[in-house]
């Protein structure tokens, strides 16, 4: 089992729940869409899977080892960080180097590659994603979509086996969305595990084979084949992913 989530509960300092008794099993090479309205806990769950947050109660394990602050400070933590990549919703949170090339080479350089090797891996990643022409550009001069692509490249350059994406197509134009769907398909063909958090139901068929729905009570209300989950109007309405009166008014 890749990830095992048992009775995961996470509370804010005021005692309110962001996640409540989550149970999940995630296997290698799965393509998963994590669905939920804003505030349902999608980002919080991804951060637990990425080892950036830790349970108030319950547990999250990766390949049989529980993710705790103590374990992630040792050799296991180094291996985990190399195997699990996280792409933030806000690309600016990941971009801090002077050029795109330096940004994408940063991860490999800190994995022990020489400067030449890190730069070569960065160039390969940029070419793979079709954005090699951005190599010498400073990130602050990129468009929002270009920043998102560079943030993805900075994670891919470390060649993780698991990729966690937080609302990756939010705000992207149709061409950039198609670019992301194609990149995701190539990652899946390469055997990567991908988990994408989104509230955009019309994109799920391009993202995943399995869908997990979080409701506004911060619990899992549906988990299964993506096609079947998208057909469960009751679960989607309960999760505030559909608004029936508006759909009826539009004649849908």
Give dist(CA 37, CA 60) in Å, integer.
23
From 155, 164, 151, select the one nearest 60 (Cα to Cα): 164
Query: 93 falls in which pLDDT band (50, 70, 90)?
Result: confident
DSSP state of 161: S
pLDDT at residue 243, as a whole number: 73
Give dist(CA 48, CA 61) in Å, integer.
10
pLDDT tens for each residue of 211-237: 999 999 999 999 999 999 999 999 999
Question: With contact defined as beta carbons under 8 Å apart, do 214 and 41 qualify?
Answer: yes
**Residue 128, C-beta contacts closer than 8 angstroms, at least 6 positions apart:** 156, 186
Question: With contact defined as beta carbons under 8 Å apart, do 125 and 153 qualify?
Answer: yes
Instruction: Record the pTM.
Output: 0.92
Sign of CA dihedral 221, 242, 185, 228: positive
Question: With contact defined as beta carbons under 8 Å apart, do 196 and 207 qualify?
Answer: yes
**Residue 79, C-beta contacts closer than 8 angstroms, at least 6 positions apart:** none
From 84, 133, 128, select the one nearest 107 (Cα to Cα): 84
Interval 182-194 mean pLDDT: 95
The β-bridge partners of 224 are 211
- Residues 127-136: contacts with CB under 8 Å, at least 24 apart: 128/156, 128/186, 129/153, 129/156, 129/179, 129/183, 130/179, 131/100, 134/100, 135/99, 135/100, 135/101, 136/99, 136/100, 136/101
- Domains present along the chain, CATH in parentheses: 3-249 (3.40.50.300)
Please determine, for residue 247, whether its predicted confidence score (pLDDT) is greater than 80. Answer: no
pLDDT at residue 244, as a whole number: 66
Query: 36 falls in which pLDDT band (50, 70, 90)?
Result: very high
Rounded to the nearest integer, the mean pLDDT of the chain is 92
pLDDT at residue 94, as a whole number: 83
pLDDT at residue 245, as a whole number: 59
């Amino acid at each position: 089992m890749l990830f095992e989530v048992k009775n995961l509960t996470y509370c804010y300092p005021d005692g309110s729940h962001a996640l409540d008794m989550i149970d999940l099993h995630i296997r290698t090479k799965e393509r998963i869409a994590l669905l939920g309205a804003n505030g349902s806990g999608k980002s919080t769950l991804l951060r637990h899977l990425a080892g950036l947050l830790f349970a108030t109660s319950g547990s999250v394990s990766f390949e049989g080892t529980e993710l705790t602050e103590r374990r992630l400070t040792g050799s296991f933590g180094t291996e985990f960080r190399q195997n699990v990549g996280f792409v933030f919703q806000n690309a600016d949170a990941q971009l801090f180097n002077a050029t795109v090339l330096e940004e994408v080479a940063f991860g490999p350089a800190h994995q022990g590659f020489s400067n030449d090797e890190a730069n070569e891996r960065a160039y390969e990643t940029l070419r793979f994603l079709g954005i090699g022409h951005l190599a010498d550009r400073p990130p602050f001069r990129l468009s929002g979509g270009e920043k998102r692509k560079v943030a993805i490249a900075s994670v891919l350059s470390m060649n993780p086996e698991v990729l966690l994406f937080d609302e990756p197509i939010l705000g992207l134009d149709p061409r950039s969305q198609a670019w992301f769907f194609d990149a995701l398909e190539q990652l899946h063909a390469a055997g990567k595990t991908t988990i994408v958090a989104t509230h955009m139901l019309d994109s799920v068929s391009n993202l995943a084979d399995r869908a997990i729905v979080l409701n506004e009570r911060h619990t899992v209300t549906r988990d299964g084949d993506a096609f079947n989950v998208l057909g469960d109007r009751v679960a989607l309405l309960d999760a505030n992913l559909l608004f029936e009166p508006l759909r009826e008014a539009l004649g849908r």
